[in-house]
Amino acid sequence: MAKNRNKKTRNGVAAMDVTSPQAMDTSESAAPKPHIGGSHRKMKGVQMKRTKNVRKMKAIAKAISKNEKLEERITRTESKIERTKDAKKLYE
């Protein structure tokens, strides 16, 4: 394997071009790490609070719609009972 390392490939390009020396890049490209201070934790706390409020609001909306459906069902059954009573009175 070591013998074939510097041979050219089929299209005529060398495996690794070492003819022009390149300077090593020593600049820091990584962003600095944030501190483990209060600002990061505050944002996380706000997110938690927001999601909790969203869940609470969804639960309230669901309960209201369920209550409205229940009331509608009750009024339908009451009207049905009234209609049957009126129909029975007609035939008596």
Q: How do the pLDDT tens digits run along the chain, 92 residues long?
A: 566 666 655 565 555 555 666 666 666 666 555 555 555 555 555 566 788 899 999 999 999 999 999 999 999 999 999 999 999 998 87
Please answer whether residues 5 and 15 qualify as being in contact, where contact means their C-beta atoms are separated by less than 8 angstroms.
Answer: yes
Q: Encoding tokens for residue 48? A: 């938690």
Backbone φ, ψ for residue 25 (5° rounding): -80, 115
The DSSP string of 47-75 is HHHHHHHHHHHHHHHHHHHHHHHHHHHHH
CA distance 22 to 25: 9
Instruction: Please tell me the predicted confidence (pLDDT) of residue 92.
Output: 78
The reported pLDDT for the residue numbered 15 is: 56
Residue found by looking up tokens 């029975």 in the block: 88
**What is residue 83's predicted lDDT score, i.e. its pLDDT?**
94
Nearest to 6 by CA among 23, 19, 24, 22: 19
